[in-house]
Structures are given as C-alpha cells and as structure tokens.
Structure 1
Amino acid sequence: MELEVRHLRALCAIADTGSLHRAARHLGVAQPSLSTQLRRIEQELGGALFVRARSGCRPTPLGRLVLSRARPVVADMRSLVAEARAAAAGGPELRVGSTASKALAGWLRRLRAQGQDPTLHMNVSANALLRMVADGQLDVAFVHEVEGCPLRIPRELRLRVLIEREPQFVSLPADHPAAARPVVHLSDLAGDRWMIDPTVDGEWDAVQRMFRAAGVHPHVLHGDYHTADALVATGEVVTVCQPTRAPRPDMAVRRLHGDPLGVRLLLAARTETDLDGVCPALEEAYWEAARQAPAYQEWLERDGAASRPPVPALP
C-alpha cells in the first residue's frame, strides 16, 4: 500500500475531530470504512498513529510526527485545487466555512452584493473549520464556542468576537404545557426526551453540566439537529436551539430560566484584512436574523441589549 493524499486527509480529519465517528461524518464515509483505512495506514507505517479510548482518539508520538508532515501536504493540495478551480471560473472565490446559523443566508447575500463570490463549507465541528482556515483551505470561518468547552484555536489565526455570550434557548412542541410560558424551567422538561448532537464540539458536555447543575436527569437521545426539529414538531423530543431560531406553528422557541447554556460567536481568518472584508456584513445579517426571532428579541429588549454591540478584535 502506498500512502496517498486521501490517506493523509483522513489522518488529519481524525486528529482535528478527535473521533473516528466525527471524522467519518466530516469526510462523508462510513465509520467502519474509515477504521479499516486507518488500520491499513498504521500497518504500512509500522505503528499505531492514534490511541483509541472512550473519550476519543488522540495522536501517538508517531502520529504527531506523521501529522506534522501530512498537514502541509493536504493544505497545499487543497489550495492547488481551489486556485485551479478559481482560475478556471475566471475569478477568485471567497471560501467561507460555518457552523449552523440563521445569519448565513443574509451574510452570503450581502457578500455577493459587495461583489464577492462566496462558496460555503458547512461543518458541525468548529475546531475542524478553524484548522481548515489555518491550513489555507478556507478564507474565513464563522463558528460558535460552547461555554466551558474552549475551542482549539490555531495560533496563526486572527479572531473577532461577534457575540460574547449568546444564550441558548429550547425548542419544544407547540402544544407542550411549558410552551404556554415565555420562560421555561429545566424542571418543567425533566420528564421529556431530549435530543442532542454529540458531534457538535463541546455541546454534549455542556448540556450534561447544565442538567447536573439543575438536578435533572432526562432521557437523552443522540441525533443531528435537523432530525431533532422533525421530532420536536411531532412531540417526540425537546432540544436546545439557537435563539435566532424562528418559531413554527408546530414548534415553540422559549428562553431557559437563568440562561444556563451559552455560546460565544467567533469569526476567524488568517489576516485582519480578511476579517475587515466580511465582518460588517456578518454583523448586519446576525441582527437581521435576531429581529425575526420574537423570543430572542424580547430577551434582548429586556436586558437592554437590543442595540448592536461593538465587534472587538481579540488580542
């Protein structure tokens, strides 16, 4: 077996996500296939590249050595492909990465109105997106950092804080008894099934801490948030959601009492110039989305934060 770029890309994905499951999802392959590929790579190189444990995968000394050589190769190849495609299309693309956000549509629309040509790469892993920016695979990334679970931010990146702490709300069936009130206590939902996406960096741990602090022990299911939305609408589960989530006739969005779960919204790029070119459009798009979410707008007005805050540069 001869190592190819796709093998190196798989190793980088495992290291960046810290999990075979998340890496397989990022690469768009089945986990058993990725596990088999990793075993063959390790056999070819003569040693284990990762320590596998219940908490995830971490590189061995040999793995760190291989990754130090693999990352530049993968980054150079992706940059080559991106530059070649841009040249063939007749102009440069703005490569945007993002975790899920209701601000995305407005942001992309504003960037196009400014004459930019954005492409979009979505990923549930903020850490993976930040690594892609550092490696030159993306120009900018909009990510959220779950409170209490710091992201692994590459030293070469420049950051802007869009929102220092965005409270996370809860979505629940419109006919749920707790939906009759504007603020929901976790104790009101202790008997419900919750659905949480464990592949979102830090989310699972933060939600579990939230439950422990409230002294509740609900039944928790694993699933992506698109599936969770469908199950909320049919009364099967409740789930955490971004406050910009707009309600629907079959789904209510409510604030959690005490705002026990929060995230920090960050914009990352390799240069301040790159940030300056996209940050104002993102800020406008975010507050546009916030105005369309009644529960969030009420929260902002009550806390005296309805006006747009500054977007400071991080040191």
Structure 2
Amino acid sequence: MELEVRHLRALCAIADTGSLHRAARQLGVAQPSLSTQLRRIEQELGGPLFLRSHTGCHPTPLGRLVLSRARPLMAELHLLVTEARAAATGGTELRIGSTASKALAGWLRRLRARGQNPSLHMNVSPNALLRMVADGQLDVAFVHEVEGCPLRIPAALRLRVLVEREPQCVSLPVDHPAAAKQEVELADLAGDRWMIDPTVDGEWDAVQRMFREAGVSPHVLHGDYHTADALVATGEVVTVCQPTRTPGPDMAVRRLKDDPLGVRLLAAARTETDLDGVYPALEEAYREVARQAPAYRDWHPPDWLEPGGPLRPPSPALP
C-alpha cells in the first residue's frame, strides 16, 4: 500500500475532529470504512497514529510526526486547486467556511454585491473550520462556540466576536402544551424525547450539563438537526435550536427560561485585513435574520436589530 492524498486527508480529518465518527461524516464515508482505512495506514507506517478512548481520538507521537508533514501538504494541494480554478475562471475566490446559520444566504448575497466571489464550505465542527483557516484552506470562518466548551483556536488567527452570548432556544411541536408559553422550562420537556447532534463540537456536553443543572433526565436520541426538524414537525422529538430559527406551521420556537444554554458567535481569519473585507456584510446579514425571527424580537431591544445598533448582550438575563 502506498500513501495517497485521500489517506492524508483522512488523517487530518480524524485529528481535526477528534473522532472517527465525526471524521467519517466530514469525509462522507461510513465509519467502519474509515476505521479500516486507518488500520491499513497504521500498518503501512509501522505503528498506531491515534489513541482511541472514550474522549475521542488523540494523536500518538508517531501521529503528530505524520500530521506535521501531512497538514502542509494538504494545505498546499488545496491552495493549488483553488488558485488553478480561480485562474481558469478569471477571478479570485473568497473561501468561506461556516457552521449552520440562517445568515449565510444574506452574507453571500452581500459579498457578491460588493464584487467578491465567495465559495462556501459547511461543517458541523467549528474546530475543523478554524484549523482549515489556519492551514490556508479557507480565508475566513464563521463559527459558534458552545458555552463551557472552548474551541481550540489556533494562535495565528484573528477573531471578531459577532455576539458574545446568544442564548439557544428550543423547537417543539406546535401543539405541544409547552408551546402555549412564551418561555419554556426544562421541567416542561422532561418527559419528551430530545434529539441532539453529538458531532457538533461541545453540543452534547453542554446539553447534558444543562439537563443536570435543571435536575431532569430526558431520553436523548442522536441525529443531525435536519432530521430533528422533520421529527419535531411530526411530534416525535424536541430539540435545541438557534434563536434565528424560523417557526413553521408544525413547529414552534420558544426561549428556554433563564437562558441555560448559550453560544458565542465568531468570525476568524488569518489577518485583520481579511476580516475587514467580510465582517461588515456578515453583521448586516445577521441583523437581517434577527429582525425576521420572532424569538429575537421578543427579547431584543429595537436598537440592537437596526443597522448601527450595538451588537452586545441586551438584557440582564444574558451576562
């Protein structure tokens, strides 16, 4: 067996996500297939590259050596492909990475209106996106940091904080008894099935901590949030969601009482100049979706939602 680009890509994905499950999802392959591939790579190189434990996959000394050579190679290859495509089309591509956000469409639209040529790379792992920016595979990333679960931010990156603490909401069936309230207590949902995506960095730990502090222990299913939305609409589950989430005819979005779960919204790039070129459009786009979301309008003062208003925690409930 000879090492190929796909093998190096797999090793970097495992290291970036810290999990075979998350790496397989990022690469679009089945986890057993990735595990088999990793064993073959380790056999070829003569030793284990990762230690597997209940906390995830961590590089061994041999793994760190291999990754120190693999990362620059992958970054250079990605840069080669990007520059070649830009040259072929006669333009320069702005490579954006992001976790899920309702603001993305408006952000991309504004960047194009400013004459920029953005491409979008989505990933549920903000840590993986930050590493891609540091390695030169992306120009900028828009990510969230779950409260109590700090991101591994490479030292070389520059940051802009869009929102210091944004409380997360809950989406539930519109005919759920708790949907009649403007604020929902976790005790009201203790008997429901929750669906949480464990591949989102920090999400599982933060939600479990929220349950413990509230003294509840609901049944939790694992699944991605697109699936969760479909199951909420049919009354099968409830789930956490962003306050910019738009309610639908079968789904209600409600604030959790005392805001027990929060995230910090960040933009990251390698230079302040890179941030200056994209951040104003991001801020405008985020205000736009916030103005359209009932969950935001219920508890944010108008000056926060209008252009030029202060992007800061607006109420005493958000320390």
In the superposition, the TM-score normalised over structure 2's length comes to: 0.95
Q: Distance in 2 between matches of 1:238 and 1:60?
A: 39
1:299-310 correspondence runs (5 A):
299-301=299-301, 305-306=304-305, 308-310=309-311
1:208-223 correspondence runs (5 A):
208-223=208-223
Q: Distance in 2 between matches of 1:305 and 1:176?
A: 31
Q: Distance in 1 between matches of 2:172 and 2:2?
A: 51
Look up the match of 1:129.
129
1:1-315 correspondence runs (5 A):
1-301=1-301, 305-306=304-305, 308-310=309-311
Q: Distance in 2 between matches of 1:36 and 1:309?
A: 51
Tell me the CA shift for residue 305 of structure 1. Answer: 4.8
Tell me if the contact between 2:287 and 2:305 (Cα under 8 Å) persists in the aligned partners.
no
**Alignment size in residue pairs:** 310
Tell me the CA shift for residue 306 of structure 1. Answer: 4.6
Q: Distance in 2 between matches of 1:157 and 1:277?
A: 15
Tell me the CA shift for residue 301 of structure 1. Answer: 2.7
Q: Distance in 1 between matches of 2:304 and 2:61?
A: 48
SS at match of 2:170: strand
Tell me the CA shift for residue 95 of structure 1. Answer: 0.5
Look up the match of 2:315.
none
Q: Distance in 2 between matches of 1:30 and 1:55?
A: 20
Q: Distance in 1 between matches of 2:98 and 2:104?
A: 8
Q: Deviations over 1:161-196 (max 9, x none)?
A: 000001000000000000001000000000000000
Tell me if the contact between 2:125 and 2:199 (Cα under 8 Å) persists in the aligned partners.
yes
Q: Distance in 2 between matches of 1:136 and 1:213?
A: 40
Q: Distance in 2 between matches of 1:218 and 1:55?
A: 23
SS at match of 2:16: helix
Q: Deviations over 1:202-249 (max 9, x none)?
A: 000000000000000000000000000000000000000000001111
Write the letter of the residue equivalent to 2:255.
Answer: R
In the superposition, the TM-score normalised over structure 1's length comes to: 0.96
Tell me the CA shift for residue 53 of structure 1. Answer: 1.3
Percent of matched pairs sharing the same residue: 83
Tell me the CA shift for residue 32 of structure 1. Answer: 1.1
Tell me if the contact between 2:291 and 2:305 (Cα under 8 Å) persists in the aligned partners.
no
Tell me if the contact between 2:290 and 2:305 (Cα under 8 Å) persists in the aligned partners.
no
Q: Distance in 2 between matches of 1:113 and 1:240?
A: 33
SS at match of 2:301: helix
Tell me the CA shift for residue 299 of structure 1. Answer: 1.3
SS at match of 1:16: helix
Q: Distance in 1 between matches of 2:100 and 2:134?
A: 20
Q: Distance in 2 between matches of 1:191 and 1:74?
A: 47
Tell me if the contact between 2:171 and 2:254 (Cα under 8 Å) persists in the aligned partners.
yes
Q: Distance in 1 between matches of 2:43 and 2:67?
A: 16
Tell me the CA shift for residue 310 of structure 1. Answer: 4.8
SS at match of 1:95: strand
Q: Distance in 2 between matches of 1:214 and 1:143?
A: 27
Unaligned runs of 5+ in 1: none
Unaligned runs of 5+ in 2: 313-319
SS at match of 2:201: coil
Q: Distance in 2 between matches of 1:179 and 1:306?
A: 25
SS at match of 2:220: strand
Across the aligned residues of Structure 1 and Structure 2, the Cα RMSD in angstroms comes to 1.2
